[in-house]
Chains A and B, each alone.
Chain A
Amino acid sequence: MNTATPVVELKQITKRFPGIVANDSISFKLFKGEIHALLGENGAGKSTLMNVVFGLYQPEEGVIEVNGKPVMIDGPNKAIELGIGMVHQHFKLVQPFTVTENIILGSEPNKGARINYKKATEDIRKLSEQYGLRVDPNAKIHDISVGMQQRVEILKTLYRGADILIFDEPTAVLTPQEISELMEIMQRLIKEGKSIILITHKLKEIMQIADTVTIIRRGKVIDTLKKTETSPQELAEKMVGRNVSFKVDKIPANPGEVVMEMKEVVSKNKDGMSVLNHLSLQVKAGEILGIAGVDGNGQSELIEALTGLRHVDGGEITLHGKPITNLTPRKITESGVAHIPEDRHKHGLVLDFSVSENMVLETYYKQPYNKNGFLQHDEIDKKAQRLVEGFDVRTPSIHTMARSLSGGNQQKAIIAREIDKNPDLLVAAQPTRGLDVGAIEFVQKQLIAQRDQGKAVLLISFELDEILNVSDRIVVIYEGQIVGEVLPEQTNDQELGLMMAGSTVKRGATHE
């Protein structure tokens, strides 16, 4: 046990919001040179706690000590002064600015009245070499990858002299390769004497990198454990407060006739490049077809084409043998396609609408929700109430704005709405992205339940584990084409990984 003074210590922190206690006398110690993970479900109070540490919120009760001295953190500037830096989940970068400009923003080195860019670039280069953070100081933010943007965020905190780094869900937006790079960076930071608080709900990452884990549930600390003394199973149980099964229970699939078929579908982007390049696939009734692939290989475009949000330039899409190519989204919905969109904030919900209004976002014009042009609010509320209860959407009321729900509950609301349409084909794009263990389990069960009812399910996910666990059949997409098909029980992530990277020759030859 480390007996030194912790670099950050929280004592009995309590933070209330109207109606809820987000943090209920939480105590927490971070020692120098350790990675301390903060584990909890969405809405458990992790982010609130870190916002308290970073000075964005003021706690009602409790004391924060930095290096043994009690401090008042009344704003991010104060936090930075104390050597605390935060890498936000949603990057706070100015898109048209260069990497250098973003990093120095707010603490620019001056030379007279002008900004000394030369010195800035030099400093950044040094920092990035010291910590192994590969960036191009002169590239514009909108030209660089998400992984590099995150490194810019990390450099921002280091440039300001941070010794304590808070990472808020850092892997949510990264590809598997970028995640392992990030892990290396974090280890390097520790070696250089920094301390890290890692907010996450991914057990795998914790087991991989953290030294200590503090589990928070409903605003309270449940336990603090050494990683070496625990197991993912124990952590998951402590986090959700009940037994969690990692294995997805399902009976073997019983595929029926073909529900949806894409034949030689071609779709071009603005520059005339084929983002869908003669793509063909079939989904049968009573099966879950998983589409595996590295982000950016045409997954989003495939869904857009299928749901009518993107123009198809060639080929045909049929549902029960009837063409639905280039129909309007409404016509496609009405012909029996439901869609859990990839980006729930952009496509799935109108965040400023109430939960109730969101529940009828696609059906508001139909009986009984609409009579002679007037919305029947009673009927709408009744439906919303039923779905909220049936799918365990946790919301203070059905009239609460969708914006104030946690991510998991927003997703549940969308899934409730889509499944309630009783579709023939359910398209689920990244349905568990950003969700915690409990919610993931719920979502996957729902997908399997749909399949068991004889629905066709198309699952697109960047999480290989999810694809392998949930799908009955897997196709791999690469550069807008289906490059191979495998059965989940006959493959593993290595093989899939290779196929996703485009090496298809062998597999394609044996299978087709």
Chain B
Amino acid sequence: MNKVLKLFTKDSITLPVIAIILGLLLGAIVMMVGGYNPIEAYSALIERVYGNSYDFGEAIREMTPLIMTGLAFAFAARAGLFNIGGEGQFMIGMTAASIVGIHLHGLPAFIHAPLAIIAGAVFGGLWAALAGFLKATRGVNEVISCIMLNWIGLYLSNLIINTFALQSGDTRSVDIQPSASIAISWLSEMMGNARVHWGTLIALLAAVFFYIFMWKTKQGFELRSVGFNQDASKYAGMNVNRNIVKAMFISGAFAGLGGAFTVLGVFGYQSVMASSPGTGFDGIAVALIGMNNPFGVVLGAILFGTLTYGSAGMSFSADVPPEIVRIVIGAIIFFIAAQGIVRWLLKPFYAKRKKEKVS
């Protein structure tokens, strides 16, 4: 109990909450400057997301891949790595799931769907491990290699879909086998055909896995140790290089899962992409809002998903351009990154509290 209490009084909770409030306020100011009514706009946003079951289901659909890419970034960050390649790992995960989902025939659903999901995770992981391997053996900075791998991932995905699975006359793949689908049809029907799928559950489990792995297992101990201090880890007998590759693999597997869910649960096919989807980059923002904590990431994804999905409602019923939401998100990230500003704003409150304690 004590531990739970501590968790909520810690900086790591107050800081993002304040940042979110400040971000929303800044968005409101921008709206007022533009001549819109912020209260109306925000209530339209909330109304849109939580107003009816269809939109609620679709908002969840929006949040799920963000949880995965957010976890991906946070996991690598805990091991001291900057995995900016969630984007590429996400696309490779999509493609691997598509290929397994399309080209394996005659499997029962309880084998086919998990297999497709695992393929997405493994190939997403390998894609990231490539960057980890280059860092471990050749000292290549993972930021650079990840950015390059993002582009390679985009065009490789398109090439594979174009070559092996193209729906003739279209710019998308053929549909996946029904046995590979992870959509929850009964829930979907109940929610007005919102595209809800099992991936959301797996995403939540992934957050739990992240927590247990990182803080409860021997391997997590090594990863965190390497993340904080490579020299001391080496001295303590840990294999630093292996840990770098491992951290990247697991991180990439999270992102790859996100991609797999999108194909298997939402669309049922994969488009030939003109540009990368951006989910991987949004995951960085989600991880920052969540302070690289797995449960923080889930909350961050809920916020991010709510804002993005709700922005459509905002423009629809309050006539506010949806881009305002991007300003809000940007501001939140800014305030989280610029912790000093938040602390400075909080200073009078803290001072008061301290005085009370002293006297």
Is the CB–CB distance between A362 and B225 below 8 Å? no
Asked if B231 contacts A346 (CB within 8 A), the reply is yes
Once A375-B217, A375-B218, A375-B221 are accepted as A-B contacts, the answer to whether A350 and B237 lie under 8 Å apart by CB is no
B222, B225, B228, B235: the one contacting A347 at CB < 8 Å is B235
CB under 8 Å from chain B, chain A span 323-351 = 328-331, 333, 339, 341, 346-351
Please provide the chain A residues from 365 to 393 with a CB less than 8 Å away from any CB of chain B in the complex: 365, 370, 373-375, 377
For the complex, give the distance between the alpha carbons of A373 and B238 in Å. 15
Q: Is the CB of A353 within 8 A of B235?
A: no
B218 lies within 8 A of A373 (CB): yes
Do B237 and A330 have beta carbons less than 8 Å apart? yes
| Chain A residues whose CB sits within 8 angstroms of the CB of B237 once the complex forms | 328-331, 333, 362
Q: Does B326 contact A (CB under 8 A)?
A: no
- For residue B232, CB closer than 8 A to chain A, the reply is yes
Select which of B217, B218, B225 is within 8 A of A350 by beta carbon. Answer: B225
Contact across chains for A361 and B218 when beta carbons are under 8 A apart: no
A127 to chain B, nearest CB (A): 35
Among B216, B217, B221, B222, max chain A CB count under 10 A is at B221
Give Cα A365–Cα B243 distance, bound, in whole angstroms.
14
Asked if A364 is an interface residue, CB under 8 A from chain B, the answer is yes
**Chain B 214-248 residues near chain A, CB threshold 8 A:** 216-222, 224-225, 228-229, 231-239
Contact A350 B229 (CB under 8 A): yes
Task: List B contacts of A353 (CB < 8 A).
Answer: 224-225, 228
- Whether B218 lies near A348 (C-beta < 8 A) is no
- Contact of A373 with B217 at beta-carbon distance under 8 Å, contacts A329-B235, A330-B237 already known: yes
Residues B221 and A347 in contact, CB atoms below 8 Å apart: no
A348 to B235, CA, bound (A): 8
Q: List chain B residues, Cβ under 8 A from A287.
A: none
Q: Chain B residues with Cβ under 8 A from A365's Cβ?
A: 218
Is A214 interfacial (CB-CB < 8 Å)? no
Asked if A307 CB lies within 8 Å of chain B CBs, one says yes
Interfacial chain A residues near B236, Cβ < 8 Å: 329, 361-362
For the complex, what is the distance from the CA of A351 to the CA of B216, rounded to whole Å? 19
Task: Quote the shortest CB–CB distance from B272 to chain A (angstroms).
Answer: 42
Q: Is A223 close to B, CB under 8 A?
A: no
Given that A329-B237, A357-B221 are contacting pairs, would A346 and B216 also be in contact in the complex, using a CB cutoff of 8 Å?
no
Question: How many angstroms between the C-alpha atoms of A404 and B238 in the bound complex?
Answer: 24
B219 contacts A361, C-beta separation under 8 Å:
no
Is residue A257 contacting chain B, with contact meaning CB distance below 8 A? no
Residue among A331, A341, A373 having the largest count of chain B Cβ atoms under 10 Å = A373
A144 contacts chain B at the CB level, 8 A cutoff: no
Expressed in whole angstroms, the Cα–Cα distance for A346 and B231 within the complex equals: 6
Contacts of B234 in A (CB 8 A): 309, 329
In the bound complex, CA of A171 to CA of B356 (Å): 42
Number of interface residues of B (CB under 8 A): 21
What's the interface size class on A, roughly?
A: 20 to 34
**Docked-complex contact B218 and A346, CB < 8 angstroms:** no
Interfacial chain A residues near B225, Cβ < 8 Å: 350, 353, 361
How far is it, in angstroms, between the C-alpha of A330 and the C-alpha of B240 when the chains are bound? 12
Q: Are A351 and B221 in contact (CB under 8 A)?
A: no
Q: B residues within 8 A CB of A331?
A: 237
Residues of B contacting A122 with CB < 8 Å?
none
- Asked if B229 and A351 sit within 8 Å, CB to CB, the answer is yes
A347→B231 contact, CB < 8 A:
yes
State the CA gap A370–B218 with chains docked (Å): 7
B33 vs chain A, min Cβ distance (A): 36
A295 on the interface (CB 8 Å rule)? no
Q: How distant is A427 from chain B, measured CB to nearest CB, in Å? A: 12
A348 with B219: CB separation less than 8 A: no
A16 to B354, CA, bound (A): 11
Q: Is A495 an interface residue (CB 8 A)?
A: no
CA distance A331 to B222 in the complex (A): 17
Residue of B nearest to A366 (CB): B218
* Complex contact B235–A307 (CB within 8 A): yes
Contact in complex: B232, A348 (CB < 8 Å): yes
Give the residues in chain B near A349, CB-CB below 8 Å: 229, 232
19 contacts between A and B (CB under 8 A): A309-B234, A309-B235, A329-B237, A347-B232, A349-B229, A350-B228, A351-B228, A352-B228, A352-B229, A353-B225, A353-B228, A361-B236, A362-B237, A364-B221, A365-B218, A373-B218, A374-B217, A375-B218, A375-B220
Mark A residues whose CB is within 8 Å of B.
16, 307, 309, 328-331, 333, 339, 341, 346-353, 357, 361-362, 364-365, 370, 373-375, 377
Question: What would 20 more interface pairs be, CB under 8 Å, given A349-B229, A361-B236, A365-B218?
Answer: A16-B358, A329-B234, A329-B235, A329-B236, A329-B237, A330-B238, A331-B237, A333-B237, A346-B232, A347-B235, A350-B225, A350-B228, A350-B229, A351-B229, A352-B229, A361-B225, A361-B232, A362-B237, A364-B222, A374-B217
